[in-house]
Structure 1
Amino acid sequence: MTTSRSDIKNSANWGFETKQVHIGQENPDLATGARAVPIYASTSFVFEDCRHAADRFALRDEGNIYGRLTNPTGEVLERRMAALEGGAAALAVSSGAAAVSYAIQALAKAGEHIVASRNIYGGTYHLLAHTLPLTAGITATFVDPEEEGAFEGAIQENTKAVFTETLGNPHSNVADLETLSKIAHSHQIPLVVDSTFATPYLVRPIEYGADIVVHSATKFIGGHGTALGGVLVDGGRFDWKASGKYPWISEANPSYHGITFTEAAPEAPFAAYVRAVLLRDTGATLSPFHAFLLLQGLETLSLRVERHVENAQKIVEYLSGHPKVEAVHHPSLKGEPTHTLYKKYFPKGGGSIFTFEIKGGEREARAFIDNLPIFSLLANVADVKSLVIHPATTTHSQCTEEELAEQGIRPNTIRLSIGIEKAEDLIAALEEGFRQ
């Protein structure tokens, strides 16, 4: 199954068709602001006749062919996410993990290399450290982002991207996006930023030089823990031809009629390549039902994030003065190593997912968590509900002791994701956990 010319361009001229229903240019509000976005629960799209079908497959006619590649409901989500991030185009996929995987696989091939921050989500760390080396021959070097010259020193001749997170996991360390973009571009490679924890409401990495932004839309974008989803945003500024390191994007691609993506989709060739080749061939498609739920989340993104940030600051202050707390890791605190970067990149505040170390060890951490009311113990973050987890035995449990130490995760480390409940209630709940 292939895509049509408009599937590749992700342009404003979609003209989606399903039976007698038409959306697109006839109703542009669906992509820019209307609330009543329908769910197009359709696997495929009707052709008028055989010639129409042939024209679609031959790229002579714009429009949809098959739901694995495009869907009208998902396209609205993509347009809105691109607009929020200030990007040229976006691609919605089935999960944040899929978005990260596609971003890396679109940039690096067997025998090539990625430089990444070591303070990243455990799943992404394992993808780069173990899965991709084994299955695709792509290797990675992990660096301490707070060590001067670490990124520059790790770049090799075969390095194809620099990868970081706006706010690291689980401590919410702040990445120096502007500096990293300059380092990456000096080697003619893109900067890829996972901005899940920041959201475009707080920081827009493309404005600081990032080329590709990825999100687990499961988190703040959806906000309610009801739907999985991921998004890649193509900044549209990286010069793929001048780089010369990505011929599958800037030269004729044999897997799709010899198309050259920089010519077919000059505004967003990266997103076009991922959709037309990787999504086509591996199918991590976002359900239109989940696209609809994520769109509902976008309606209240700024309102929710404001409350998340406000509550988190109150909890950080409370924990910082608690006698049973050994340390709090949040970039708003003056003693934290990325506090200066926090003031630069987060004028509205940020970091509602962070860690603290309870006095004692793993036993005390578990007892605190097991007796903590209001907070839900589950493997998610950035929900409207407050969440808690013990990283060393859950989200980062596949790490070795050395890897855990490098990422600053100790047996007494507890990760909190602060929700939008009343801050006074959350503080009372934490106090109960300490008492128990």
Structure 2
Amino acid sequence: MSDRLPGFSTLAVHAGAQPDPTTGARATPIYQTTSFVFNDADHAASLFGLQAFGNIYTRIGNPTNAVLEERVAALEGGTAALAVASGHAAQVVVLQQLLQPGDEFIAARKLYGGSINQFSHAFKSFGWNVVWADSDDIASFERAVTPRTKAIFIESIANPGGSITDIEAISTVARKAGVPLIVDNTLASPYLIRPIDHGADIVVHSLTKFLGGHGNSLGGIIVDAGTFDWSTGGKYPMLSEPRPEYHGIRLQETFGNFAFAIACRVLGLRDLGPALSPFNAFMILTGIETLPLRMQKHCDNAKAVAEFLAGHPAVASVSYAGLASDKYNQLARKYAPKGAGAVFTFSLKGGYDSGVSLVSKLQLFSHLANVGDTRSLVIHPASTTHSQLDDAAKVKSGAGPDVVRLSIGIEDKEDLIADLEQALGA
């Protein structure tokens, strides 16, 4: 190729991949092996001592996974990435590098219900404390900062309501506090929003959703922006202090602008063990090749469905940033000009019972707990994904009792609208 930088669609197909040097296979092979042969004793020692890069054991790294990591890093504009078993695993591995027992991190209230549960309950056993802030009130993040704050966590497009977060404004708060900004970019994908371009230091994804795109493989990924100075103020000893398990190496000094990704691999993945299956990595890689095509279709369909629902007499309100009347429309125009995503919510005039009833009457939409599939999906969050929250918390997270969440697929939009029309009429 020429010296020009490849475009997004080219990167989605080619980044990280080369024909297999042994067989000439053009598709990335599935390296379905637990471990790898060393050249000799010195080679093995250099790999275990972080003095050379290479393959040791699939729990720590695998050639199929490595292509996936390089591809997503390229699409997000990061320096390096680490693939893990799920989006939840990515969050655990990220925060393990940043937090010590008793430390705090700030999180936006508008999050996937599973993340709210993980942050509120599971992380307590590690001594990690979440402090909640309102993404519609940037000052609430500033007020939440204390000397124990070690990170800020937000979603670029919030699940379930599809609201757009002002990444740049919250990044300013993080910079002032001297802590990294972590952005879950699952609902947007890098096709719509690249959080690193707007001040994010770390990006996480559930690869299960739009990047994989076909509802067939679990996965998660961590992308290192290479923008944060981990030696500042001694806040992050996992990266700045000598690591006894690696003969006193200081990860930031040794690995520079991809030190965080290395820490996640050699301190987090190595010891916690949430390794991604090479087969799942292969499936997700295949999905990413069509990400630009799928994502645009998702967004075009979602806007058409949202417009239909906004005009239906049984619908009380529609929360979709792609609508001109939506409170997040200006942020959508700024951050996601190609489309406001494909996941959104709407409220029914009949309340909780109407939401549950509608879900049961839909025929083309699949009733299940996932988003980002080629198929259109529906769920009633208050009775499922957010059921562990009390009523006030459900409303604050955008999952009130009358709310239905849709994940719009790539079917013909006329068929999706017809299915909703018959269910609402029934």
TM-score interval, smaller chain: over 0.9
Distance change (3 Å), C-alpha of 1:59 and 1:153: closer
Distance 2:44 2:310 in 1: 64
1:211-270 residue CA offsets vs partner (Å, 9 max, x unmatched): 000000000011000100001000001111235311220121223322211122112111
Alignment RMSD, CA only? 1.8
How many angstroms apart in 2 are the aligned matches of 1:428 and 1:333? 20
- Counterpart Cα distance in 2 of 1:60 and 1:169: 41
Partner of 2:61: 70
Aligned mate of 2:301, from 285, 302, 311: 311
1:119 and 2:110 correspond:
yes
Is 1:280 aligned to 2:280, yes or no? Answer: no
CA, structure 1 residues 107+177, in 2 after alignment: closer, same or farther (shift >3 Å)? same
Equivalent position of 1:89 in the other structure = 80
Q: Is residue 255–residue 277 contact of structure 1 (8 Å, CA) maintained in 2?
A: no
2:38 pairs with one of 14, 38, 47: 47
Residues 189 and 243 of structure 1 are in contact (CA less than 8 Å); yes or no, is this contact kept in structure 2?
A: no
Residue among 217, 229, 251 paired with 1:239: 229
1:21-420 pair list within 5 angstroms: 28=18, 35-133=26-124, 135-420=125-410
* Aligned length, in residue pairs: 409
| Letter of the structure 1 residue corresponding to residue 361 of structure 2 | N
TM-score, normalisation: structure 1: 0.90
The whole-number CA distance in structure 1 between the counterparts of 2:178 and 2:399 is 34
- The alpha carbon displacement at 1:402 in A equals 2.1
Q: Structure 1 residue 51: deviation in Å?
A: 4.2
| Equivalent AA in structure 1 for residue 336 of structure 2 | F
Q: What is the CA–CA distance in structure 1 between the aligned matches of 2:50 and 2:210, rounded to whole Å?
A: 37
8 Å contact from structure 1 (residues 331, 338) kept in 2: yes
Q: Is this contact kept in 2: 1:252–1:258, CA < 8 A?
A: yes
Partner SS state of residue 340, structure 1? helix
Question: More deviation in 54-63 or 234-243?
Answer: 54-63
**Residues 44 and 425 (structure 1 numbering): CA distance in 2 closer, same or farther, change over 3 Å?**
same
Q: Which amino acid aligns with 1:416?
A: L
SS at match of 1:381: coil
Q: Tell me how far apart the structure 2 counterparts of residues 129 and 183 of structure 1 sit (CA, whole Å).
A: 22
Would the aligned equivalents of 2:87 and 2:204 in 1 still touch at CA under 8 Å?
yes
Query: Residue 54 and residue 261 in structure 1: after superposition, are their counterparts in 2 closer, same or farther (change >3 A)?
Result: closer
Range with bigger deviation, 319-328 or 61-70: 61-70
Aligned to 1:3: none
Q: Structure 1 unaligned segments of length 5 or more: list them.
A: 1-24
Change (3 A) 1:360 1:35: farther
**1:184-227 deviations in Å (ceiling 9; x for gaps):** 01111000000000000011000011000000000001100010
Q: Which amino acid aligns with 2:189?
A: T
Question: SS at 1:44's partner residue?
Answer: coil
Structure 2 letter corresponding to 1:78: E
CA distance in structure 1 between the aligned counterparts of 2:139 and 2:176, rounded to whole angstroms: 14
Gaps of 5+ in 2: 1-15
What TM-score do you get using the length of structure 2 for normalisation? 0.93
